[in-house]
A = this chain, B = another copy of it.
């Protein structure tokens, strides 16, 4: 869904926000963006509206759109919801997961282990993505899968940051092992709990990271 042009522009603007080009609170000038992308204001407006729905920017009538990066509390809240969605996916997947998917999960986990050994955060991040997406898919609930992917995508840049924390990759790895074990044995409640805490701890880690960066802010 979406028109080719506005879609790509929306993605590019999103990258610019995540990349830090547009800081928190910046007003996104339609005309400036139009000349920047070499198009009219119309596709820009559509692109900005697309960014409004995930909450990446807020639109104030007759004022313009402003980039809205979530603060520490809002971020914690989002991770909390993400944890619940993952837990739900895990609970369902424990009963429905296929043996082929279990193999894929183990394979992704093995590649994660290699990344930990190589201290390659980017590689770990990538394999971690597939690990979680397999679980979403195996929940057998395509709506849940779509919602989880949506929020996962929104939190992506923050997950990435917190991976750099000392020892986090190894800890995350151990949690992955527990999750796979629970899914293998079809223990729904255990899988749900393991996934919930696995994600929730990311929010807490990030909270600490933020607080340490700006001691007396907000």
Q: Which residues of B contact A60 (CB under 8 A)?
A: 1
Decide: B147 and A81 in contact? CB cutoff 8 A: yes
Q: How far is the CB of A107 from chain B (nearest CB, A)?
A: 27
Bitwise, A174-216 to B at CB < 8 A (1) or not (0) is: 0000000000000000000000000000000000000000000
**A15 interface contact, C-beta 8 A:** no
Decide: B50 and A81 in contact? CB cutoff 8 A: no
Q: Which A residues between 44 and 90 are near B, CB-CB below 8 angstroms? A: 45-46, 49-50, 52-53, 58-62, 74, 77-78, 80-81, 84-85, 87-88
**A142 interface contact, C-beta 8 A:** yes
**A2 interface contact, C-beta 8 A:** yes
What is the count of identical protomers in the complex?
2
Chain A at the B interface: mostly helix, strand, loop or mixed?
Answer: helix
Chain B, Cβ-Cβ closest to A5: B61
Decide: A143 and B77 in contact? CB cutoff 8 A: yes
The size of the chain A interface, using a CB distance under 8 A, is 30
Decide: B78 and A143 in contact? CB cutoff 8 A: yes
Q: Which residues of B contact A81 (CB under 8 A)?
A: 85, 88, 141, 143-144, 147
Q: A2-B59, A77-B143, A84-B87 are in contact. List 16 more A-B contacts (CB 8 A).
A: A1-B59, A1-B61, A2-B61, A3-B62, A46-B46, A46-B49, A49-B49, A53-B53, A77-B141, A77-B144, A78-B143, A80-B88, A80-B141, A80-B144, A81-B85, A81-B144
What are 20 of the A-B contact pairs (CB < 8 Å)?
A1-B58, A1-B59, A1-B60, A2-B59, A2-B61, A3-B61, A3-B62, A4-B61, A45-B46, A53-B53, A77-B142, A77-B143, A77-B144, A80-B143, A81-B88, A81-B143, A81-B144, A84-B85, A84-B87, A84-B88
